[in-house]
Amino acid sequence: MSAAHDRDRLRALPAVKAAANRIIPRDDWPSAWDGGLEAYLIHTPSSDRDLVWAWPSLIHLAGELDRAARAVGGSCFADVTVAQKDELLKRISESPDTSEAFDALRRVTFEGYYAACGGREPAGLAMVGYREVPDHVRESDPERLSDVSLDAVQSHYDAIVVGSGPGGGVAAAVLASEGKRVLVVERARNLSNAQLRGDHLHGKRNAVYWPVVGPGAGHPRSVRTDAGELTLDGGDDASLYGLNAYAVGGGSRIWQGMAWRFFPEDFRMRSTYGNPEGASLVDWPVTYEDMEPYYSRAEWELGVAGDEGTLTMRTARSARYPMPAMGSDASREFLASAADRLGWGWGPIPLAINSVPHDGRGACVRCAHCVGISCPVNAKNGSNNTFLPRAISTGLCDLLTDAEAVEIRDGDHVAGVVIMANTRGVPVEVRVTADVVIVSAGAIETPRLLLASGIGNEHMGRHLHDHRISSIVGTAPFPVKTYSGPGHSIATLDHVHSATVPWGGGVIADISNTLPLTFAEHPPVGIPEWGIAHKRWMRGDRARRFGVVAIGQEIPVPTSRVTLAGVTDRWGRPGAALRKDVHEASRLVEVGLGRQGEIWLRAAGTTDLEPAGSRPITSAAGEHSAGTARMGTSSLNSATDPVGRVWGTKRVVVCDSSLTPTNGSVNPTLTIVANAFRVAEALVAEWPP
């Protein structure tokens, strides 16, 4: 039977409606069915695809509910009393035979009532005070970047850049500004900003179903998890497939904007801490002093809002920030007073978001949710609205979207790329040559593409690492994290390279705004998981739910790696096989940061602390993945030389997070941008390659 048939059959089953209306009963606000569930189940176009898993369970549950109602003297579940409905639902939710079906109903009920999707604004959003964009804001959707068709691609360029994220965008901008003819190949579609927001079910961070910024079907991966080996496709669960975003501009199109510099110690981790047994910790082939001018350039050319003070005193600076820090908010004031009592340093987080009008674009309007979606007023700064437009404006850069580089070719006199695309449903192959090929596809796809092309030594794909994350939440004495953006506001760096947390520690910041759906699905201990008490908590004490998140060092190990899988993609090329092993030293970082986060929250008066509830991320591919083509001084310990050239090649350069030998104690994007400037400048300086 078709999904549409199951959907229509479900509509005719009153037990489902009656049960959902007890999961979210009517009070001053509508019940589940009228408040959004009917529209979600029946009228949302994506439901045919998204809810295929749920309809059989819901139909089965309806039958079980009606049978249970007849056993207590009713004609059907919809006709028994409210008290009987609640008792029967409690019984069914606890029975091993029916609990799974009940959980399916609870899940889709919350999705229908508390999640925006397909243009819907269900009642639950207004009930909890969630307004995605402030009422006074007029959204502005900039024109999409000008791209070229496949048949307009030239046969030869000075440089081909594979990937349009922070690394690739910088490389394209630097080379084009120096008069080089550049082709940027991006496999993502050229979507508008409006297409990348307003969806709480298909975003990168909150991908309950297929992510809008995923590569889509036809890009399978083999992922080793605790449950064994999984084969996943690009349209599957992003938390399993990998959290890297695929968009014009890469992850910087929808990131949260934290723009930190690495610390001097981050560039010499092995010298500072030694190498624990089983790890592959190394020093960078450059120092902080080498990188500092590029950090200043990155802050100005990307556009970072920040203040000099406690958070910058340990990293020498040659230039101020181009914009003042984002204004304060309740969470900053709440944690700042606690930090002062503890004697901790703190400050506003540097953000690549316009705190004031900048670069011809407006300032942040502090909408409810920032991370994982595009900005409604184009105030969030990424490759898409800085480096790529500058490259294209030279007239020397062509942007090719919805096309994929499937093979890299090196040569003594010329390099090249094999590109595949669907043209009116027909696969088309184009071969383009260049003086140099710059691979900037990210820490998973860069080594996969190079290995599939027969390029790279034994270190290519190895040393895959990310960050350790520790999130703690509790109940604040009053509402702290209101639905006002842009997200993170305050941080302490006191536990970065300090005695409090081993192996370099990490940054601790206030937790970002959480979507209503996440709150609904993960209430704290002691709050019922459904019913009127749950609904009252959602519109009441939920607002006091508050916490911190810590991001810390992950020690690389050689067995964590990207190799080639046995499964092939839509072009017949091997997908990535991912393996992630976590060193005990990394776990110590996570535990140590969690303890310090608890100390901070308790000092602020937060109670009932517990780890933040979330859907588990079990993939090897995190959004901060790094190190898989790491730089070094020798082919014996690295995949690329100090300026990104792949060892053993003449004309192939890597320019993205794959290069970073260690991932620092803070978010890495500003470092990726700074290092990309360094790599691109070195390439220009030695031209011709």
Domain with residue 438: its CATH number is 3.50.50.60
Non-local (6+) Cβ contacts of 229 within 8 A are 222, 223
Phi then psi for residue 623, to 5 deg, are: -75, -10
Q: Same structural domain for residues 62 and 117?
A: yes
Is 63 inside any structural domain?
Answer: yes
Token pair of 85 as six digits: 């409905």
Is 519 inside any structural domain?
Answer: yes
- Look at strands 506-510 and 545-552 and give their pairing: antiparallel
Q: Tell which of 127, 158, 183 closes a domain.
A: 127
Q: Same structural domain for residues 9 and 155?
A: no
pLDDT on residue 583: 96
Which residues of the chain are under the pLDDT cut of 50? 1, 613-617
R_g of the chain computed on alpha carbons: 26
Helix residue ranges, H only, 314-386? 330-342
Is 231 inside any structural domain?
Answer: no
Tell me what percent of the chain is helix, strand and coil, each rounded to the nearest 5.
35, 20, 45
Q: Same structural domain for residues 322 and 358?
A: yes
Q: Same structural domain for residues 368 and 482?
A: yes
Is 400 inside any structural domain?
Answer: yes
CA distance 687 to 335: 51
Q: Same structural domain for residues 66 and 168?
A: no
Q: Same structural domain for residues 69 and 123?
A: yes
Is 185 inside any structural domain?
Answer: yes
- E strand intervals along 476-529: 490-492, 506-510
Token pair of 511 as six digits: 């937790």
- pLDDT tens digits, residue range 597-646? 999 999 999 999 988 644 444 567 888 999 999 999 999 999 999 999 99
Q: Same structural domain for residues 474 and 352?
A: yes
Token pair of 228 as six digits: 């064994």
Q: Same structural domain for residues 112 and 167?
A: no
pLDDT on residue 617: 44
Is 238 inside any structural domain?
Answer: no
Q: Same structural domain for residues 350 and 487?
A: yes
Q: Is the pTM of this model over 0.85?
A: yes
Q: Same structural domain for residues 505 and 439?
A: no
Short-list 637, 662, 618, 613, CA closest to 506:
662
pLDDT on residue 10: 62
Short-list 619, 679, 631, CA closest to 658:
631
Q: Tell which of 127, 160, 187 closes a domain.
A: 127
pLDDT on residue 614: 41
pLDDT on residue 683: 98
pLDDT on residue 3: 55
Is 99 inside any structural domain?
Answer: yes
Do 666 and 658 form a contact (C-beta atoms < 8 A)?
no
> Hey, CA dihedral for 685, 664, 669, 333, is it positive or negative?
negative
Domains in the chain, number: 3
pLDDT on residue 4: 58
The angle that helices 99-114 and 14-23 make with each other, rounded to 10 degrees, is: 70
Amino acid found at 121: E
Q: Same structural domain for residues 106 and 33?
A: yes
Question: DSSP character for 648?
Answer: T
| Cis peptide, bond prior to residue 688, ω within 30 of zero | yes
Q: Is 401 exposed, middle or buried (0-12, 13-18, 19+ CB in 10 A)?
A: buried
Q: Same structural domain for residues 478 and 449?
A: no
Q: Tell which of 76, 96, 127 closes a domain.
A: 127
Domain of residue 543: give its range.
259-278+286-373+466-559+571-611
Is 217 inside any structural domain?
Answer: no
pLDDT on residue 611: 82
Short-list 161, 147, 182, CA closest to 656:
161
